Amino acid sequence: MLKAIAPLAALAPAPLLVAACATTPEPAPPPPPSFVEAACGGCHAVEPPFLSPNPNAPSFESVANRPGVTKATIRAWLINAHNYPEQMDFDLTRDRVEEVSTYMITLRRRDYVPMP
């Protein structure tokens, strides 16, 4: 009888292992700062559901979740105005660069799945 129970006893920790693998959903991103919404939201999707008004403008979420993107790389790109597409013909102060990059990096997600 004990020999028959022994294999079943080995399965007892299985529910604990499954529970340990379960992930909790990431919290919703914060709302965008008003400057980001006003200056960027005309072309880019800056908040959920991340559907850009301009189909040629990537959503902030898709940019933030590209491989290798960090707050520093966002900041560097925004500071180097010569990188901007022609449509983004404006200058950002260092404070605005910080505001945009700080917000964008909050949109990084471990469970991010690009939209088709």
Structure confidence by residue, pLDDT tens digits, 71-96: 999 999 888 866 666 767 777 899 99
100 within domain boundaries: yes
98 within domain boundaries: yes
97 within domain boundaries: yes
111 within domain boundaries: no
Q: Read off the amino acid at residue 108.
A: R
Q: Read off the amino acid at residue 99.
A: E
66 within domain boundaries: yes
The pLDDT tens digits of the residues spanning 55-75 come to: 989 999 999 999 999 999 999
Nearest to 64 by CA among 116, 24, 37, 101: 101
57 within domain boundaries: yes
Q: What is the pLDDT of residue 2?
A: 54
> What's the domain count of the chain?
1
Nearest to 59 by CA among 112, 4, 1: 112
Q: Could you tell me the residue range of the domain that residue 67 belongs to?
A: 29-105
46 within domain boundaries: yes
CA 108, 79, 111 angle in degrees (round to 5)?
5
77 within domain boundaries: yes
Question: What's the Cα-to-Cα distance from 18 to each of 13, 27, 36, 91, 110, rounded to whole Å?
Answer: 9, 22, 41, 51, 19
